[in-house]
């Protein structure tokens, strides 16, 4: 079965509740457009805007940008999975490089969060990717392998089958410095092989996205690659017109 393409917008720390609501209203048209093209779409707003976006467009896939692995407790400033579920959220981005770099996310905490999401029946978008230093030292595959294997440790086959993994080379995020489509294909196919070794044919269904300076002008090239099942998009997902152009150009 062919894997359905997925285009997910990562809004990071952008948009107030009102601005998110505005986008969500307009997203009804985007969703109809994406449906007609046979593409899945979604957005990841800040926690504060999750309810508003769901309210305006209940059919849109909406992800939190992070979560805690415990259900509750003394973790000031954190958000637990049952709190997300209560407001109808069933997707979560895990291990984005900005969380790894600025907020101490590790392979171990990613793994704990993925295990907790499995228990809760949620869908993760699990991010992996090497830094510029690691890339220049030729260590991309070593790093991606470590992140992927540690992240997926102990997960069930069905969960892996249904999850999303995003390969985002850190040096290409928000820099306008794209990884070539050949690099994207090479690493996404490498990740699929890692999944195959651990989880057999779940590798055929797991969706693997490329992320890092994806724009309407280059999205097509990435998505033509055999093992690239979609894109995780930051900057170019913030405006309705640009999101629409991304869908259009797939």
Question: Which residues have a catalytic role annotated?
Answer: 96, 168
Number of residues engaging ligand PGA in binding (CB under 6 A): 13
Count CB atoms within 10 A of the CB of residue 82. 11
Between CA 23 and CA 144 the distance in angstroms is 34
Say whether residue 187 binds ligand PGA (CB under 6 A): no
Say whether residue 232 binds ligand PGA (CB under 6 A): yes
Token digits for 54? 């769901």
Say whether residue 58 binds ligand PGA (CB under 6 A): no
- Cα–Cα nearest to 157, from 195, 108, 111: 195
Say whether residue 234 binds ligand PGA (CB under 6 A): yes
Phi-psi region of 213 (alpha: psi -120 to 50; beta: other; left: phi over 0): left
Pick 44 or 80: Cβ nearer ligand PGA: 44
Say whether residue 111 binds ligand PGA (CB under 6 A): no
- Cα–Cα nearest to 117, from 88, 155, 75, 61: 155
Q: Which of 64, 214, 219, 250 binds ligand PGA (CB under 6 A)?
A: 214
Strands 40-44 and 230-233: unpaired
Q: Which of 6, 10, 53, 61 binds ligand PGA (CB under 6 A)?
A: 10
Least Å from the CB of residue 1 to ligand PGA: 27
Chain position carrying tokens 């926690």: 47
Least Å from the CB of residue 154 to ligand PGA: 26
Pick 109 or 178: Cβ nearer ligand PGA: 178
Contacts of 85 (CB under 8 A, 6+ apart): 120, 122
Q: For the chain, give the number of residues.
A: 250
* Residues between 118 and 177 that touch ligand PGA (CB under 6 A): 168, 173-174
Least Å from the CB of residue 6 to ligand PGA: 13
Least Å from the CB of residue 140 to ligand PGA: 17
| DSSP-based three-state secondary structure for 4 | coil
Say whether residue 208 binds ligand PGA (CB under 6 A): no
- Comparing every residue's Cβ against ligand PGA, the nearest one is 234
Main-chain dihedrals φ then ψ at residue 233, nearest 5 degrees: -120, 125
Per CB under 6 A, residues contacting ligand PGA are 10, 168, 173-174, 211-214, 232-236
């Amino acid at each position: 079965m062919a894997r359905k393409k997925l285009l997910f917008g990562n809004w990071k720390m952008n948009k107030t509740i009102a601005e998110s609501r505005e986008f969500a209203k307009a997203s009804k048209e985007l969703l109809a457009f994406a449906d007609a093209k046979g593409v899945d779409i979604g957005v990841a707003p800040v926690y504060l805007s999750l309810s508003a976006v769901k309210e305006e467009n209940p059919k849109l896939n909406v992800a939190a940008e992070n979560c805690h692995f415990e259900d509750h407790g003394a973790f000031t400033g954190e958000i637990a999975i049952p709190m997300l579920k209560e407001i109808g959220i069933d997707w979560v981005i895990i291990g984005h490089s900005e969380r790894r770099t600025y907020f101490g996310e590790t392979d171990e905490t990613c793994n704990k969060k993925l295990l907790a999401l499995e228990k809760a029946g949620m869908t993760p978008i699990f991010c992996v990717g090497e830094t510029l230093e690691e890339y220049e030292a030729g260590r991309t595959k070593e790093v991606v392998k470590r992140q992927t294997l540690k992240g997926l440790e102990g997960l069930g086959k069905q969960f892996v089958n249904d999850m999303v993994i995003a390969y985002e080379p850190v040096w290409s995020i928000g820099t306008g410095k794209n990884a070539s489509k050949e690099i994207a294909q090479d690493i996404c196919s490498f990740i699929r092989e890692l999944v195959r070794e651990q989880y057999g044919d779940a590798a055929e269904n797991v969706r693997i996205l490329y992320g890092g300076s994806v724009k309407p002008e280059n999205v097509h090239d990435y998505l033509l690659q055999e093992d690239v099942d979609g894109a995780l998009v930051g900057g170019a997902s913030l405006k309705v017109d640009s999101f629409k152009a991304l869908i259009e150009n797939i």
